[in-house]
């Protein structure tokens, strides 16, 4: 067994090993920690004393040992700190306050401020203040957060490079502005990437190491996990399938802003297709789905949309070879659309990739943001990084951080 470490680096390593075990098993005795980590009893006693003193660990029970002896078990305090999960959309802003087990203690949804990036930052600050007050949590216990944003996020800086749905967001240093307003670090991630993380943590792709999450609503985007790693790309644009040259003419200048595929199958494209087939003007995408059994234009529209999306799925499948593809978003998660995708896939491939609907619905990005924020906090506090066991964190977050 290792002796009690004297250097700061060795102490941090010991703390990391103990915390990883507590994260994995939730409730564990000192003897069990010693057996799994190789640390000495003295080291574990010192580490547990420090963690208890600082409020991170508490005694949560006892287990019966041999010959009538019992041992105290320990667990991490879920309320030792809190994190923010933020889902920023062009029309909706969803902010949640969660504890270290990912349990949401307060949340709020508002229409996104329409006055640009600075107004959005102010709105997030005001909503956060209200959530802390509602939950009875002091601002000092809020230790970090993650925000999901539409657009392309630059991997090195976390800056929002392109955000067409929110004016001024890509010309503002959003991270610095949020830090100035909230006093904590807020990491920024593409919203669909976070939805993929959320599905990997608590959704339908928990057991998959290679999968894609395709979100279809107003627009279309994709989050990719390959061999357990979230793929961002050299410039943060991996998964931007809106620009696949499918569903239209890629040389048509109208597709340069939103992308050829998004122009064809996003909500505006669906309505344009429907009305072009003689469907009632002024209809919404929901109206089109509601009329599938009675309106031939609606049936043809959704069938054609399913056909175009299937073509995109075939392209993704040939490049990524995923175990599963999760469909999400307000349109992508419609079971009527999945039926058509499954039928089209069966016509053009012998072994179709498995398609599942999102288990988290419109909360996927928010849940991914909470899970990522917890991971960031664990790594910052306890030195848990890329070498952490995948079982030690809420999801394979050490890989997400890669």
Pick 286 or 6 by higher pLDDT: 286
**Tokens 């279809």 belong to which residue?**
216
Same domain membership, residue 89 and residue 70? no
Write out the two tokens for 83.
Answer: 């994190």
Q: Is the pLDDT of residue 66 over 60?
A: no
Cα dihedral across residues 376, 377, 380, 382: positive or negative: negative
Q: Is the pLDDT of residue 338 over 80?
A: yes
Q: Is the pLDDT of residue 8 over 80?
A: no
Q: 148-175 burial, b if ≥16 CB within 10 A, otherwise e?
A: bbbbbbeeeebbbeebeebeebbebebb
The DSSP 8-state label assigned to residue 246 in this structure reads -
Same domain membership, residue 100 and residue 179? yes
Judge contact between 302 and 295, C-beta under 8 A: no
Q: What is this structure's pTM?
A: 0.87
Query: Who contacts 109 (Cβ-Cβ below 8 Å, separation ≥6)?
Result: 92, 93, 94, 95
What range does the domain containing 374 cover?
Answer: 82-196+363-384
Judge contact between 205 and 211, C-beta under 8 A: yes
pLDDT at 399: 37
Q: How far apart are CA 14 and CA 22, in angstroms?
A: 13
Out of 76, 94, 118, a domain closes at: 76
Q: Using alpha carbons only, give the angle 288, 293, 296 rounded to the nearest 5 degrees.
A: 70
Out of 17, 45, 76, a domain closes at: 76
pLDDT digits (tens, 9 = 90+) for 203-226: 999 999 999 999 999 899 999 999
Rg (the chain; Cα; Å): 24
Same domain membership, residue 219 and residue 187? no
Q: How far apart are CA 68 and CA 116, in angstroms?
A: 66
Write out the two tokens for 281.
Answer: 């003007």
Q: Ranked by mean pLDDT, which of 21-30, 49-58, 138-147 comes out on top?
A: 138-147
Pick 110 or 68 by higher pLDDT: 110
Cα dihedral across residues 342, 210, 161, 104: positive or negative: positive
Portion of the chain with pLDDT greater than 90, in percent: 61
Query: Who contacts 293 (Cβ-Cβ below 8 Å, separation ≥6)?
Result: none
Same domain membership, residue 285 and residue 241? yes
User: Where is average pLDDT lowest: 13-22, 102-111, 393-402?
Assistant: 393-402
Q: How far apart are CA 271 and CA 261, in angstroms?
A: 15
Same domain membership, residue 227 and residue 184? no
Selection from 401, 384, 389, 386 nearest residue 100 by Cα: 384
Selection from 199, 186, 187 nearest residue 225 by Cα: 199
What is the three-class DSSP state of 181?
helix
Q: How far apart are CA 180 and CA 198, in angstroms?
A: 27
Region 329-342 average pLDDT: 97
Same domain membership, residue 288 and residue 341? yes
- CATH code, 127: 3.30.420.40
Region 28-42 average pLDDT: 88
Which pairing describes strands 104-111 and 70-76: parallel, antiparallel, or unpaired? unpaired
User: Where is average pLDDT lowest: 125-139, 234-248, 326-340, 378-392?
Assistant: 378-392
The whole-chain average pLDDT of the chain stands at 88
What is the three-class DSSP state of 385?
coil
Query: Who contacts 387 (Cβ-Cβ below 8 Å, separation ≥6)?
Result: 398
Q: Is the pLDDT of residue 393 over 80?
A: no
Same domain membership, residue 215 and residue 119? no
Dihedral angle over CA of 157, 161, 167, 169, nearest 10: 0
Side-chain half-sphere CA neighbours of 191 within 13 A: 25
pLDDT at 9: 72
């Amino acid at each position: 067994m290792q002796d009690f470490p004297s250097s700061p680096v060795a102490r941090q390593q010991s703390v990391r090993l103990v915390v990883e075990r507590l994260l994995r098993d939730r409730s564990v005795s000192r003897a069990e920690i010693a057996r799994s980590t190789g640390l000495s009893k003295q080291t574990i006693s010192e580490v547990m004393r420090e963690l208890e003193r600082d409020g991170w660990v508490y005694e949560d029970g006892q287990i019966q040992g041999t010959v009538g002896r019992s041992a105290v078990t320990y667990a991490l305090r879920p309320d030792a700190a809190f994190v923010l999960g933020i889902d920023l959309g062009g029309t909706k802003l969803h902010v949640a306050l969660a504890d270290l087990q990912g349990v949401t203690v307060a949340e709020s949804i508002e229409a996104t401020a329409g006055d640009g990036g600075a107004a959005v930052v102010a709105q997030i600050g005001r909503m956060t203040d209200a959530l802390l007050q509602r939950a009875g949590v002091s601002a000092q216990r809020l230790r970090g957060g993650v925000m999901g944003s539409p657009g392309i996020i630059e991997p090195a800086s976390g800056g929002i490079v392109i955000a067409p749905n929110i004016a001024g967001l890509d010309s503002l240093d959003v991270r610095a502005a949020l830090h100035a307003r909230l006093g904590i670090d807020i990491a920024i991630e593409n919203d669909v990437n976070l939805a993929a993380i959320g599905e990997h943590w608590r959704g339908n792709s928990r057991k998959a190491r290679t999968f894609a999450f395709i979100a279809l609503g107003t627009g279309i985007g994709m989050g990719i996990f390959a061999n357990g790693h979230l793929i961002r790309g050299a410039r943060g644009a991996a998964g931007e399938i809106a620009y696949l040259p499918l569903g239209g003419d890629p040389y048509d200048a109208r597709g340069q802003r939103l992308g050829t595929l998004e122009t064809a199958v996003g909500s505006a494209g669906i309505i344009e297709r429907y009305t072009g087939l003689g469907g009632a003007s002024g209809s919404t995408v929901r109206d089109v789905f509601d009329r599938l059994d009675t309106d031939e234009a609606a049936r043809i529209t959704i069938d054609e949309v399913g056909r175009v999306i299937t073509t995109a799925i075939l392209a993704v499948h040939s490049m990524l070879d995923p175990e599963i593809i999760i469909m999400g978003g307000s349109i992508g998660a419609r079971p009527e659309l999945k039926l058509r995708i499954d039928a089209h896939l069966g016509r053009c491939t012998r072994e179709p990739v498995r398609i599942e609907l999102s288990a988290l619905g419109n909360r996927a990005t928010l849940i991914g943001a909470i899970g990522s924020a917890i991971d960031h906090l664990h790594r910052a506090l306890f030195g848990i990084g890329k070498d952490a066991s995948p079982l030690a964190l809420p999801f394979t977050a050490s890989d997400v951080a890669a």
